[in-house]
Structure 1
Amino acid sequence: MPLTNPWLTGPTPDGVLERSSLEERILQLLSTQNLAVVATVNRDGSPSATPVRYYSLGFEIFYSSWDASVKSRNLRRDPRVSAGIVAPYVGLASSRGVQLFGTARTLAPGDASEYWEAFRWQSDYAERGRAVSEPPTDPLTVITPERILYTDHWLRRSGHAPRQTWRPLDGSPAERVE
Protein backbone atom coordinates (compact mmCIF):
# COMPACT_ATOMS: atom_id res chain seq x y z
CA MET A 1 0.00 0.00 0.00
CA PRO A 2 1.53 3.38 -0.97
CA LEU A 3 2.19 5.89 1.82
CA THR A 4 0.67 9.31 1.25
CA ASN A 5 3.05 10.91 3.76
CA PRO A 6 6.21 8.79 3.97
CA TRP A 7 7.93 11.46 6.06
CA LEU A 8 5.70 10.40 9.00
CA THR A 9 7.52 7.04 9.18
CA GLY A 10 10.78 6.43 10.97
CA PRO A 11 12.23 8.24 13.95
CA THR A 12 10.67 11.52 15.03
CA PRO A 13 12.95 14.47 14.17
CA ASP A 14 14.15 16.66 17.03
CA GLY A 15 14.96 19.96 15.30
CA VAL A 16 13.93 23.16 17.06
CA LEU A 17 12.21 25.92 15.08
CA GLU A 18 13.64 29.42 15.15
CA ARG A 19 11.69 31.54 17.62
CA SER A 20 10.30 33.85 14.93
CA SER A 21 8.99 30.88 12.91
CA LEU A 22 7.42 29.28 15.98
CA GLU A 23 5.76 32.56 16.97
CA GLU A 24 4.41 33.06 13.46
CA ARG A 25 2.89 29.56 13.45
CA ILE A 26 1.31 30.03 16.89
CA LEU A 27 -0.16 33.43 15.98
CA GLN A 28 -1.51 32.03 12.70
CA LEU A 29 -3.25 29.19 14.53
CA LEU A 30 -4.70 31.50 17.21
CA SER A 31 -6.00 33.86 14.50
CA THR A 32 -7.63 31.19 12.36
CA GLN A 33 -9.49 29.20 15.01
CA ASN A 34 -12.16 30.33 17.46
CA LEU A 35 -12.86 27.44 19.83
CA ALA A 36 -10.76 26.65 22.89
CA VAL A 37 -11.28 24.14 25.65
CA VAL A 38 -10.41 25.96 28.88
CA ALA A 39 -9.43 23.84 31.87
CA THR A 40 -9.74 25.24 35.39
CA VAL A 41 -9.33 23.70 38.84
CA ASN A 42 -12.45 22.85 40.87
CA ARG A 43 -12.51 23.44 44.63
CA ASP A 44 -11.77 19.74 45.25
CA GLY A 45 -8.73 19.85 42.92
CA SER A 46 -10.39 18.02 40.04
CA PRO A 47 -10.22 19.50 36.52
CA SER A 48 -13.10 21.24 34.80
CA ALA A 49 -12.86 21.69 31.02
CA THR A 50 -15.23 23.97 29.14
CA PRO A 51 -15.37 24.89 25.44
CA VAL A 52 -15.42 28.65 24.80
CA ARG A 53 -15.39 30.82 21.71
CA TYR A 54 -12.30 33.00 21.98
CA TYR A 55 -10.51 35.87 20.29
CA SER A 56 -6.80 36.65 20.43
CA LEU A 57 -4.40 39.56 20.75
CA GLY A 58 -0.84 38.43 20.39
CA PHE A 59 -0.38 35.28 22.44
CA GLU A 60 -3.26 36.04 24.79
CA ILE A 61 -6.73 34.62 24.22
CA PHE A 62 -9.89 36.02 25.77
CA TYR A 63 -13.58 35.28 26.02
CA SER A 64 -16.69 36.62 27.74
CA SER A 65 -18.27 34.68 30.56
CA TRP A 66 -20.84 35.15 33.28
CA ASP A 67 -19.35 35.72 36.72
CA ALA A 68 -21.56 32.91 38.09
CA SER A 69 -20.19 30.24 35.70
CA VAL A 70 -18.15 27.37 37.13
CA LYS A 71 -15.06 28.41 35.17
CA SER A 72 -15.31 32.01 36.42
CA ARG A 73 -15.75 30.91 40.04
CA ASN A 74 -12.84 28.50 39.69
CA LEU A 75 -10.58 31.21 38.23
CA ARG A 76 -11.40 33.67 41.02
CA ARG A 77 -10.21 31.07 43.51
CA ASP A 78 -7.25 29.77 41.47
CA PRO A 79 -6.16 31.68 38.32
CA ARG A 80 -4.08 28.80 36.94
CA VAL A 81 -5.50 27.70 33.61
CA SER A 82 -4.79 25.61 30.55
CA ALA A 83 -6.45 25.99 27.17
CA GLY A 84 -6.33 23.70 24.15
CA ILE A 85 -6.95 24.87 20.60
CA VAL A 86 -6.82 22.54 17.59
CA ALA A 87 -7.20 22.87 13.85
CA PRO A 88 -9.54 20.41 12.12
CA TYR A 89 -8.00 16.95 12.18
CA VAL A 90 -8.08 14.60 9.19
CA GLY A 91 -5.02 12.49 10.00
CA LEU A 92 -1.60 12.69 11.60
CA ALA A 93 -0.25 14.95 8.85
CA SER A 94 -2.88 17.54 9.76
CA SER A 95 -2.39 17.31 13.53
CA ARG A 96 -1.92 20.93 14.58
CA GLY A 97 -2.77 22.73 17.80
CA VAL A 98 -1.61 24.60 20.88
CA GLN A 99 -1.86 24.13 24.60
CA LEU A 100 -1.58 27.34 26.59
CA PHE A 101 -0.51 27.16 30.22
CA GLY A 102 -0.73 30.28 32.34
CA THR A 103 -3.02 32.44 34.37
CA ALA A 104 -6.36 34.09 33.75
CA ARG A 105 -7.77 37.39 34.89
CA THR A 106 -11.28 38.71 34.50
CA LEU A 107 -11.65 42.35 33.48
CA ALA A 108 -14.65 44.57 34.03
CA PRO A 109 -15.95 46.21 30.83
CA GLY A 110 -14.29 49.55 31.65
CA ASP A 111 -10.92 47.85 32.09
CA ALA A 112 -11.08 45.77 28.92
CA SER A 113 -11.49 48.35 26.15
CA GLU A 114 -8.49 47.19 24.08
CA TYR A 115 -9.78 43.61 24.23
CA TRP A 116 -13.36 44.60 23.39
CA GLU A 117 -12.01 46.32 20.27
CA ALA A 118 -10.77 42.91 19.07
CA PHE A 119 -13.89 41.02 20.19
CA ARG A 120 -16.52 40.67 17.47
CA TRP A 121 -19.45 41.05 19.86
CA GLN A 122 -21.80 42.55 17.28
CA SER A 123 -22.59 39.15 15.74
CA ASP A 124 -23.41 37.73 19.20
CA TYR A 125 -25.70 40.65 19.92
CA ALA A 126 -27.49 40.38 16.56
CA GLU A 127 -27.97 36.63 17.05
CA ARG A 128 -29.50 37.24 20.48
CA GLY A 129 -31.73 40.10 19.31
CA ARG A 130 -29.77 42.75 21.20
CA ALA A 131 -29.08 46.21 19.79
CA VAL A 132 -25.60 46.44 18.27
CA SER A 133 -25.56 50.13 19.15
CA GLU A 134 -25.26 49.27 22.86
CA PRO A 135 -21.71 48.33 23.88
CA PRO A 136 -21.09 45.17 25.89
CA THR A 137 -21.26 45.19 29.67
CA ASP A 138 -20.00 41.66 30.22
CA PRO A 139 -16.66 40.91 31.87
CA LEU A 140 -13.88 39.47 29.73
CA THR A 141 -11.52 36.73 30.86
CA VAL A 142 -7.98 37.01 29.48
CA ILE A 143 -5.60 34.07 29.48
CA THR A 144 -1.94 35.06 29.52
CA PRO A 145 0.32 32.12 28.70
CA GLU A 146 3.55 31.43 30.53
CA ARG A 147 4.20 28.49 28.19
CA ILE A 148 2.71 27.37 24.89
CA LEU A 149 3.15 23.86 23.55
CA TYR A 150 2.71 23.95 19.76
CA THR A 151 2.07 20.70 17.91
CA ASP A 152 2.33 20.41 14.15
CA HIS A 153 3.26 17.07 12.61
CA TRP A 154 3.88 18.72 9.24
CA LEU A 155 7.09 20.08 10.83
CA ARG A 156 8.53 16.57 10.53
CA ARG A 157 8.91 17.14 6.77
CA SER A 158 11.61 19.75 7.44
CA GLY A 159 13.41 17.83 10.20
CA HIS A 160 11.76 19.64 13.10
CA ALA A 161 10.17 18.04 16.15
CA PRO A 162 6.38 17.99 15.88
CA ARG A 163 6.13 19.56 19.36
CA GLN A 164 7.76 22.90 20.06
CA THR A 165 7.68 24.96 23.27
CA TRP A 166 7.31 28.74 23.44
CA ARG A 167 7.98 30.86 26.53
CA PRO A 168 8.18 34.63 26.95
CA LEU A 169 11.72 35.91 26.45
CA ASP A 170 12.17 37.42 29.90
CA GLY A 171 10.12 34.95 31.91
CA SER A 172 7.28 37.45 32.34
CA PRO A 173 3.78 36.78 30.98
CA ALA A 174 3.35 36.72 27.22
CA GLU A 175 4.68 39.72 25.39
CA ARG A 176 2.35 41.46 22.97
CA VAL A 177 3.12 40.88 19.32
CA GLU A 178 1.59 43.47 17.03
Structure 2
Amino acid sequence: MITMEDIVRDGHPVLRQKAEEVSLPPSEEDKQTLLSMLDYIKNSQDPDIAEKYGLRPGIGLAAPQINVSKRMFALHLEDGSNRTYSFALFNPRIVSHSVEKAYLTSGEGCLSVDENIPGYVVRYSRVTIKGFDQDAKEVKLRLKGLAAIAAQHEMDHLNGIMFYDHINKKDPFFEPTDAEPLER
Protein backbone atom coordinates (compact mmCIF):
# COMPACT_ATOMS: atom_id res chain seq x y z
CA MET A 1 0.00 0.00 0.00
CA ILE A 2 1.32 3.43 -0.98
CA THR A 3 1.42 5.95 1.89
CA MET A 4 2.56 9.57 2.16
CA GLU A 5 6.04 8.27 3.06
CA ASP A 6 6.30 6.85 -0.48
CA ILE A 7 5.50 10.18 -2.13
CA VAL A 8 8.56 12.27 -3.01
CA ARG A 9 8.40 15.95 -2.27
CA ASP A 10 9.07 19.08 -4.30
CA GLY A 11 12.79 19.44 -4.96
CA HIS A 12 13.36 15.71 -5.56
CA PRO A 13 15.15 15.37 -8.94
CA VAL A 14 12.74 12.70 -10.30
CA LEU A 15 9.97 15.33 -10.36
CA ARG A 16 11.90 17.32 -12.99
CA GLN A 17 12.76 14.37 -15.26
CA LYS A 18 10.91 13.26 -18.36
CA ALA A 19 9.56 9.82 -17.49
CA GLU A 20 10.33 6.78 -19.66
CA GLU A 21 7.74 4.89 -21.70
CA VAL A 22 6.46 1.68 -20.12
CA SER A 23 7.26 -1.44 -22.15
CA LEU A 24 4.10 -3.19 -23.31
CA PRO A 25 2.80 -5.61 -22.38
CA PRO A 26 3.59 -4.25 -18.90
CA SER A 27 5.51 -6.31 -16.37
CA GLU A 28 3.70 -7.61 -13.30
CA GLU A 29 5.67 -5.04 -11.26
CA ASP A 30 4.46 -2.17 -13.48
CA LYS A 31 0.86 -3.45 -13.30
CA GLN A 32 1.06 -3.63 -9.52
CA THR A 33 2.53 -0.13 -9.30
CA LEU A 34 -0.26 1.26 -11.49
CA LEU A 35 -3.01 -0.41 -9.45
CA SER A 36 -1.36 0.66 -6.17
CA MET A 37 -1.41 4.26 -7.37
CA LEU A 38 -5.14 4.04 -8.07
CA ASP A 39 -5.67 2.41 -4.67
CA TYR A 40 -3.82 5.29 -2.98
CA ILE A 41 -6.13 7.86 -4.59
CA LYS A 42 -9.26 5.91 -3.61
CA ASN A 43 -7.97 5.31 -0.07
CA SER A 44 -7.01 8.96 0.34
CA GLN A 45 -10.62 9.98 -0.35
CA ASP A 46 -12.02 7.59 2.27
CA PRO A 47 -12.02 9.56 5.56
CA ASP A 48 -11.52 6.50 7.77
CA ILE A 49 -8.67 4.99 5.75
CA ALA A 50 -7.04 8.40 5.21
CA GLU A 51 -7.06 9.13 8.94
CA LYS A 52 -5.83 5.67 9.90
CA TYR A 53 -2.83 5.82 7.54
CA GLY A 54 -2.22 9.59 7.50
CA LEU A 55 -3.02 9.98 3.79
CA ARG A 56 -3.45 13.41 2.25
CA PRO A 57 -6.46 13.38 -0.06
CA GLY A 58 -5.75 13.54 -3.76
CA ILE A 59 -7.50 13.00 -7.07
CA GLY A 60 -4.49 11.97 -9.13
CA LEU A 61 -1.06 10.42 -8.76
CA ALA A 62 1.73 10.04 -11.31
CA ALA A 63 4.50 7.45 -11.06
CA PRO A 64 7.31 10.03 -10.70
CA GLN A 65 5.63 11.13 -7.47
CA ILE A 66 6.48 7.72 -5.99
CA ASN A 67 10.02 7.87 -7.40
CA VAL A 68 9.22 5.70 -10.42
CA SER A 69 10.26 7.53 -13.59
CA LYS A 70 7.78 5.80 -15.88
CA ARG A 71 4.88 7.15 -17.91
CA MET A 72 1.86 6.12 -15.86
CA PHE A 73 -0.74 7.85 -13.74
CA ALA A 74 -4.02 7.21 -11.95
CA LEU A 75 -7.08 9.43 -11.44
CA HIS A 76 -10.13 8.98 -9.25
CA LEU A 77 -12.53 11.88 -8.90
CA GLU A 78 -16.11 13.05 -9.09
CA ASP A 79 -16.73 16.18 -11.13
CA GLY A 80 -19.29 18.92 -10.55
CA SER A 81 -21.88 16.92 -12.51
CA ASN A 82 -21.57 13.93 -10.14
CA ARG A 83 -19.79 11.92 -12.81
CA THR A 84 -17.08 9.62 -11.48
CA TYR A 85 -13.82 9.17 -13.34
CA SER A 86 -11.62 6.32 -12.16
CA PHE A 87 -8.79 5.03 -14.33
CA ALA A 88 -5.09 4.26 -14.47
CA LEU A 89 -3.05 4.42 -17.66
CA PHE A 90 0.30 3.41 -19.07
CA ASN A 91 1.91 5.74 -21.64
CA PRO A 92 -0.91 8.29 -21.72
CA ARG A 93 -0.81 11.06 -24.30
CA ILE A 94 -3.06 13.93 -25.21
CA VAL A 95 -4.21 13.38 -28.79
CA SER A 96 -6.46 16.45 -29.04
CA HIS A 97 -7.61 19.37 -26.95
CA SER A 98 -10.08 22.23 -27.03
CA VAL A 99 -9.27 25.78 -27.96
CA GLU A 100 -11.17 26.83 -24.84
CA LYS A 101 -9.28 27.01 -21.59
CA ALA A 102 -10.27 26.71 -17.94
CA TYR A 103 -8.79 27.05 -14.47
CA LEU A 104 -9.78 26.15 -10.94
CA THR A 105 -10.69 29.21 -8.88
CA SER A 106 -9.24 27.43 -5.83
CA GLY A 107 -5.94 26.87 -7.64
CA GLU A 108 -4.24 23.49 -7.85
CA GLY A 109 -2.52 21.44 -5.21
CA CYS A 110 -0.18 18.47 -5.38
CA LEU A 111 0.64 15.56 -3.11
CA SER A 112 4.33 16.28 -3.75
CA VAL A 113 4.02 19.94 -2.72
CA ASP A 114 3.48 20.44 1.00
CA GLU A 115 2.80 24.16 0.95
CA ASN A 116 -0.11 26.00 -0.65
CA ILE A 117 1.02 27.85 -3.78
CA PRO A 118 -1.69 30.34 -4.70
CA GLY A 119 -2.49 31.25 -8.28
CA TYR A 120 -4.43 30.18 -11.33
CA VAL A 121 -3.21 27.36 -13.56
CA VAL A 122 -4.77 27.80 -17.00
CA ARG A 123 -5.28 24.55 -18.91
CA TYR A 124 -7.36 23.20 -21.81
CA SER A 125 -10.99 22.78 -20.80
CA ARG A 126 -11.33 19.52 -22.78
CA VAL A 127 -8.78 16.88 -23.74
CA THR A 128 -8.82 13.51 -25.43
CA ILE A 129 -6.30 11.09 -24.01
CA LYS A 130 -5.11 7.76 -25.33
CA GLY A 131 -3.17 5.29 -23.24
CA PHE A 132 -3.16 1.66 -22.18
CA ASP A 133 -4.89 0.01 -19.24
CA GLN A 134 -3.29 -2.61 -16.96
CA ASP A 135 -4.04 -5.29 -19.58
CA ALA A 136 -2.29 -3.28 -22.32
CA LYS A 137 -5.61 -2.56 -24.07
CA GLU A 138 -5.74 0.85 -25.71
CA VAL A 139 -8.10 3.27 -24.00
CA LYS A 140 -9.41 6.56 -25.37
CA LEU A 141 -10.94 9.04 -22.92
CA ARG A 142 -12.66 12.35 -23.59
CA LEU A 143 -12.40 14.50 -20.49
CA LYS A 144 -13.70 17.93 -19.62
CA GLY A 145 -13.70 20.28 -16.66
CA LEU A 146 -12.06 19.01 -13.47
CA ALA A 147 -11.20 15.63 -15.02
CA ALA A 148 -9.41 17.33 -17.95
CA ILE A 149 -7.51 19.64 -15.60
CA ALA A 150 -6.48 16.76 -13.32
CA ALA A 151 -5.31 14.64 -16.27
CA GLN A 152 -3.20 17.53 -17.60
CA HIS A 153 -1.70 18.03 -14.10
CA GLU A 154 -0.66 14.35 -14.01
CA MET A 155 0.60 14.44 -17.63
CA ASP A 156 2.81 17.38 -16.62
CA HIS A 157 4.40 15.18 -13.93
CA LEU A 158 5.40 12.74 -16.66
CA ASN A 159 7.23 15.57 -18.42
CA GLY A 160 8.99 17.04 -15.37
CA ILE A 161 6.61 20.00 -15.08
CA MET A 162 5.07 21.17 -11.79
CA PHE A 163 1.69 22.91 -11.64
CA TYR A 164 3.18 26.13 -10.28
CA ASP A 165 5.34 26.44 -13.43
CA HIS A 166 2.10 27.56 -15.16
CA ILE A 167 1.20 30.30 -12.66
CA ASN A 168 1.72 33.87 -13.87
CA LYS A 169 4.70 35.02 -11.78
CA LYS A 170 3.85 38.74 -11.98
CA ASP A 171 0.11 38.31 -11.31
CA PRO A 172 -0.75 34.85 -9.90
CA PHE A 173 -4.49 35.61 -9.96
CA PHE A 174 -4.59 37.07 -13.46
CA GLU A 175 -7.94 36.07 -14.97
CA PRO A 176 -7.51 35.45 -18.68
CA THR A 177 -10.53 36.46 -20.75
CA ASP A 178 -10.26 33.29 -22.84
CA ALA A 179 -10.49 30.88 -19.87
CA GLU A 180 -13.52 29.71 -17.88
CA PRO A 181 -13.23 29.76 -14.09
CA LEU A 182 -14.30 26.44 -12.52
CA GLU A 183 -15.30 25.88 -8.91
CA ARG A 184 -14.02 22.71 -7.30
The TM-score normalised by the length of structure 1 is 0.25
Structure number with greater Rg is: 1
